[in-house]
Chains A and B, each alone.
Chain A
Amino acid sequence: MAAIHVIQGHLKLLLGHFQLDSGEFELPLQGVTVLFGRSGSGKSTLLRAISGLDKQTEGLLRVNGQVWQNGKHSLPTPQRHIGFVFQDAALFPHMSVRQNLLYGLKRLPKAERKAAEADFEGIVTRVGIADKLDRGVNFLSGGERQRVAIARALLMRPKLLCMDEPLSALDWRSKSELLKLIEDVVAEYRIPMLYITHAPAEVERLADRVVFMKDGRIETIETLQEALARPDSPLFDDQGAVSVLHGQPLPSQEGLHPIRLGSDTLWLSEGADTQREQVRARILARDVSIALSDPKDLSVINHLYCEIVELVESAAPRLLVRLQMQDGQKLFAEVTTHSARRLGLQPGQKVYALIKAVSLTE
């Protein structure tokens, strides 16, 4: 069976006092699908149920139309061919890095093992652990442990790669390095991924599709664009509304790093990898102001010509303004109701969005 492209069903799992009852779902898997929700919302439990790691799982699960779970009958985990990267890496402490990597490889059928052995050098180098193969895993840093865990899963050529908050135990530098690695791995190996996090910034950076979970249920399944388009999105609970703009990185000029968005250019103070075709820039609605004319005498560099799509009531006395840029991408601005009235903002009006801060989704 080739890579998994759709899973559907209805999974139930009772663990102590926690009840997972996913509800009927159909989840297309392309690129990265993020399971998002607060702790205790059932993200990990759902992922374990999909992987078949809990014997008590009940319900129905079809993967590419094939039945993996029917009532209490389930396909054992070793036959599901799912790669799993755990929160704390779950490396085998009595083995070296190399032994950890080879553990699964030895259990592959002969033909697949040959292919996997051929991949070994490439993956180990790609993941950046080539010089650590003979170390004991207890002597690795948190970031290194996760790299080994990712390599160990990749070597098995899984049909689906599951990651359960792989960054939660890391410092910010390792986090950002590992996020980049995960992005690259998705792009290079084209393995669909299910990724758990409760950090909106990770969703905005990685996700193609988001599964929102609450109280053991799947609430909604949306594309990232859909999830970012609704002002009441759970992704906005932390820092208010956020926009994610996709653009093409250009070579730096005068110490600034431009990104092309259609006919507009967004100037960043931090550099993106110009090798990439596309990067994502993250803009908080509260960092976007609105002007009726293009102000010349202002320290803010990014002035984008936009059209107001709608005004959305937000937590008073604030108002969310949804703007459409010239290339069609949407941008949220947050203004006070007072300013909106003073400027006479209304849908269809042409305005300038002044962006005070942009960050790459890192």
Chain B
Amino acid sequence: MLELFGTSVNLAPIWLTLEVAAITTVVLLLLGTPLAWWMAKMRSSNKVVLEALVALPLVLPPTVLGFYLLIIFNPTGPVTEFLRFFGFEGQLTFSKTGLVIGSVFYSLPFAVQPLMHAFEAIPQRLLDAASTLRASFLDRFFTIVVPLSQRGFLVAATLAFAHTVGEFGVVLMVGGNIPGQTRMVSIDIFDHVESLEYDQAHILSAMMLIFSLCVLMLVYGLNRRFGVKVG
């Protein structure tokens, strides 16, 4: 609890939001990088299908995505049963895990698309040259691809993080708005407004606004300063 301008504000939703967004960003970079690489190098026409699938969360109402995730990950569903077989306890929905899973799906295009475009922009000849200089695949990836895709990684991480912070529908469906456990800041603000607690809503909203603005400015500043020129 924090006292601000004579109003007490519960900061737990903010911390939860930042935590979920941070975990989601890390997961997305780990999963999104190989996926984006695979898509960038794909020559077959199946690429269209994959691109459409990855882009789905951009156009789908978050509630639709949340609904399906709820069905797939429900406590008696096949995915949870499968995990239980390996000793998993607890459940995938209405928990922090559920929030992260939902966010990963929802923010997937924001991580994969910038990475894919960054990878596509790297001339194949550079990788070929590196192989003739005896660099293995992973060696080429970390010494040629990663440094030349810095901007792509920066954009992917920022957008994934910011988009997760700002989501509402999916976390409401999959997380369930349990105070102290799955109540994220966007839902918290909605609740305050619903119960006419405008002071709390004001403070939280202003904090989110300033935070988001600062993050974006930091990123664009870094991008400008360390931006790599390719060509």
Shortest CB distance A10–B (Å)? 23
Count, A-B residue pairs, CB within 8 A: 71
* CB–CB B134/A93 < 8 A: no
Report the separation of the CA atoms of residues A149 and B231 in the bound assembly, to the nearest whole angstrom: 16
B133 partner residues in chain A, CB cutoff 8 A: 78, 103-104, 107, 152, 156
Q: Determine whether B139 belongs to the interface, using a CB cutoff of 8 Å to chain A.
A: yes
Shortest CB distance A296–B (Å)? 59
Shortest CB distance B195–A (Å)? 54
User: A53 with B134: in contact, given A94-B148, A94-B228, A107-B139 (CB under 8 Å)?
Assistant: no
Q: Determine whether A191 belongs to the interface, using a CB cutoff of 8 Å to chain B.
A: no
A287 partner residues in chain B, CB cutoff 8 A: none
Q: Determine whether B230 belongs to the interface, using a CB cutoff of 8 Å to chain A.
A: yes
* CB–CB A84/B148 < 8 A: no
Contact with B along A63-101 (1 / 0, CB 8 A): 000000000000011111111101010111110000000
* CB–CB A83/B148 < 8 A: no
* CB–CB A138/B229 < 8 A: yes
Of B43, B132, B144, which one neighbours A84 at CB under 8 angstroms? B132
Report the separation of the CA atoms of residues A11 and B147 in the bound assembly, to the nearest whole angstrom: 35
Total residues of chain A contacting the partner, CB 8 A: 30
Stretch binding the partner chain, chosen from B68-76, B106-114, B121-129: B121-129
* CB–CB B134/A104 < 8 A: yes
Q: Determine whether A6 belongs to the interface, using a CB cutoff of 8 Å to chain B.
A: no
* CB–CB A53/B128 < 8 A: yes
Shortest CB distance B86–A (Å)? 35
User: A78 with B129: in contact, given A90-B123, A138-B229 (CB under 8 Å)?
Assistant: no
User: A90 with B126: in contact, given A107-B139, A138-B231 (CB under 8 Å)?
Assistant: yes
Of B126, B131, B231, which one neighbours A92 at CB under 8 angstroms? B126
User: A78 with B128: in contact, given A93-B230, A93-B231, A107-B139 (CB under 8 Å)?
Assistant: no
A156 partner residues in chain B, CB cutoff 8 A: 132-134
Contact with A along B131-158 (1 / 0, CB 8 A): 1111110010001100110000000000
Of A93, A104, A158, which one neighbours B148 at CB under 8 angstroms? A93
Of A83, A93, A138, which one neighbours B132 at CB under 8 angstroms? A83
Chain B interface size, under 10 / 10 to 19 / 20 to 34 / 35 or more: 20 to 34
Of B132, B147, B229, B230, which one neighbours A51 at CB under 8 angstroms? B132
Report the separation of the CA atoms of residues A103 and B139 in the bound assembly, to the nearest whole angstrom: 11
B143 partner residues in chain A, CB cutoff 8 A: 103
Of A90, A94, A152, which one neighbours B125 at CB under 8 angstroms? A90
Q: Determine whether A46 belongs to the interface, using a CB cutoff of 8 Å to chain B.
A: no
A92 partner residues in chain B, CB cutoff 8 A: 126, 129-130, 144
Chain B residue at minimum C-beta to C-beta distance from A83? B132
Shortest CB distance A136–B (Å)? 9
Report the separation of the CA atoms of residues A103 and B125 in the bound assembly, to the nearest whole angstrom: 15
A48 partner residues in chain B, CB cutoff 8 A: 128
Q: A53-B131, A78-B134, A152-B133 are in contact. List 9 more A-B contacts (CB 8 A).
A: A48-B128, A53-B128, A77-B132, A86-B129, A104-B133, A108-B134, A149-B129, A156-B134, A158-B132
* Residue positions of A touching B, CB distance < 8 A: 16, 48, 51, 53, 76-84, 86, 88, 90-94, 103-104, 107-108, 138, 149, 152-153, 156, 158
* Residue positions of B touching A, CB distance < 8 A: 43, 123, 125-126, 128-136, 139, 143-144, 147-148, 228-231
Q: Show 25 residue pairs from A and B whose CB-CB distance is below 8 angstroms, ordered by the A residue.
A: A51-B132, A53-B132, A76-B131, A76-B136, A77-B128, A77-B131, A78-B134, A78-B135, A81-B134, A84-B128, A92-B126, A92-B144, A93-B126, A93-B231, A94-B147, A94-B228, A94-B230, A103-B130, A103-B143, A104-B134, A107-B133, A107-B139, A152-B133, A156-B132, A156-B133
